[in-house]
Amino acid sequence: MFITLKNGDKMEIAENATCMQAALAISEGLARNAVCAKVNGEEVDLSHSLNEGDMLEIVTLKDKEGLKVYRHTCAHVLAQALKTVYPTCKLSIGPVIDNGFYYDVDFVTPITQADLAKIEVEMQKIIKSNLPIERFTLPKDEAIALMKGFSENYKVELIEDLPEGETISFYKQGNFTDLCRGPHLPSTGKIKAFKLTSIAGAYWRGDEHNKMLTRIYGTAFAKKDEMEAYFTMLEEAKKRDHTKLGKELKLFAIMNEGKGLPFFLPNGMKLKNALIDYWRQIHTRDGYVEVNTPIMLNRTLWETSGHWFHYRDNMYTTKVDEEDFAIKPMNCPGSILVYKNEPHSYKDLPIRMGELGLVHRHEKSGQLHGLFRVRCFTQDDAHIFMTPEQIKDEIKGVVRLINEVYTLFGFKYHVELSTRPENSMGSDEDWNNATDALKSALDDLGLPYVVNEGDGAFYGPKIDFHLEDSIGRTWQCGTIQLDFQLPQRFEMEYVGEDGGKHRPIMVHRVVFGSIERFIGILIEHFAGKFPVWLSPVQAKILPITDRQEAYAKELCAKMKEKGIRVEVDDRNEKIGYKIREAQMEKVPYMLVVGEKEAEAGLVAVRRRDKGDTGAVSADDFIATVLSDISEKTVF
């Protein structure tokens, strides 16, 4: 029989040949590195039997899907080790997450971080045994009986929630069997490098009314050196932790009186305002108008937008004059009301409408983290209202703007196109048209992207930008969402060239995403050493003795007139101490002024990462700083 390979080639194989046998027929090297396969787009085990006409793709650890399967198998090895070391424990779920996996377990006697070492020893034994991993299926009633026989009540509950008549799959390795959809590695011996990292508490099914389980986190990599590099990165990330640096640099605080509601301190506001000034500058240049909409609007609006039904659990609500209101979790419905406030012609379009809107979303307390996961944040939103003919050019314009911003900060990035989710509004035709428009714009720009099936917004597909920071971590920030639904739900209109009424198309887009979260990312990306244009304090003048204070203050006033954020450290301390303090505050420029500098109108310049760079005239230094600010130099 014949199958089709990823590159489109046809290949003849024996009847009922497995994916592994097909991989061997292609090359022994491919078979040796194979993790699982995709057959007609669906991930399957290498033991899966092929049929005539199947589309086959062999997945290795070089593929993102391959690493997920590898880590998922490691989670099963962890579960088997736990049942060996703690026979009375009950297993729940063990999914793959970014950079690793976890397993939620119900222990009779709680375990501690110190217990992870002996669990790892048992895992190593299982891996060394190279146990074959075999898939089998059972009807629902037999699957329940099997798990009841193992006294795995959490697994029984999971199976009971599955539809009637569904066939349930399991995976067996040695004397251990686990409920799982798969796929998995062909044997446990394929795992080369893993580490259990931490434990935490987690409610069963994420419901705080359920029992608290123990979550064991781990990671796994194809090679030991890759795992070592990962842990080196984690150590570097600890040094850059934005919650730690945010406190040390006096940027922001999270108070007990407002958990998840960040307070920006004076230094943090200087940084935030610098970002906002930059945002306004580039948006004004690109033809955006800025609006501001109310923080709270009535229930009718949110019902029309669909948020009341699709996003209700994440919204804060209240009553005003016996009428239901919601604090806005998103800015888009308010922008639509601005659009509808007056009639529009096709000559007005596109309208690019920006808003730095404060939004609130309900996040569980256990998920809050610094500026990364908060309950209120400033979304640098923009909504573009356009004709169908303008879609491609507007999408391309937004992509260029996002590229400009990320390049300025030194971020690499990759792009994902997210398609229709299960919980969505609108017709197949609208979704197909919207998705095709995004694909076409990306193709025209020659921008590589991967398709993220089913991860779009409930009202339309989207393009997501994932940043890579200076130590290799990725962050999802920018997004472009094409929306055919809200213009219909709000009955938005414009008068076309033919004199008739037409429905505009709407784009939702952010560049920073959340300004608060973006600041957290920048803190860690730059390790608190911000470029001059962003630094809360751009220069610090350090007089050696009190006799130079008058000159220092005169120079400070002159620099402030030029818009430079500068301070004088006139404390009665030794100059070495002042320099160390300024260095700890990560100030880009330190200006040491002694008797000689004061008499000659000079400054002895120290740069944050280069030390002494020599004495220059005060005017020359001011020119240098102004150039750094205007050019947005990164050093």
- State the distance between the two ends of the chain, measured CA to CA, in whole angstroms: 61
| Ramachandran angles phi, psi of 258, nearest 5° | -155, 70
Residue 88 phi/psi, 5-degree rounding, is -90, -5
The CA distances from residue 591 to 549, 552, 608, 609, 615, in Å, are 13, 9, 11, 14, 9
Question: 32: exposed, middle or buried (C-beta count within 10 Å: 0-12, 13-18, 19+)?
Answer: exposed
Under DSSP, is residue 165 helix (H, G, I), strand (E, B) or coil? coil
Cα gap 98→94, rounded to integer Å? 13
Residue spans of alpha helices (H) in 46-100:
64-85
d(CA 629, CA 258): 35
Instruction: Find out whether 51 and 197 touch, Cβ atoms under 8 Å.
Output: no
Residue type, 193: A
Helix axes 428-445, 391-408, angle to 10 degrees: 50
Q: Please give the structure tokens belonging to residue 626.
A: 């102004």
Residues recognised as catalytic: 332, 361, 379, 381, 383, 462, 508
Other CB atoms within a 10 A radius of the CB of residue 524 amount to 26
Of 509, 506, 513, 461, which Cα lies nearest the Cα of 351? 506
93: nearest Cα among 112, 113, 108, 78? 78
Cβ atoms of residues 130 and 187 within 8 Å: yes
Dihedrals φ, ψ of 590, to 5°?
-115, 125
Please say whether the beta carbons of 471 and 231 come within 8 A. Answer: no
For residue 183, cis peptide bond before it (omega within 30 degrees of 0):
yes
Distances (CA, A) of 25 to 35, 47, 49, 513: 16, 15, 15, 48
Q: With H, G, I as helix, E, B as strand and everything else as coil, classify residue 572.
A: coil
- 583-604 as b/e: b if 16+ CB within 10 A: eebbbbbbbbbbeebbeeebbb
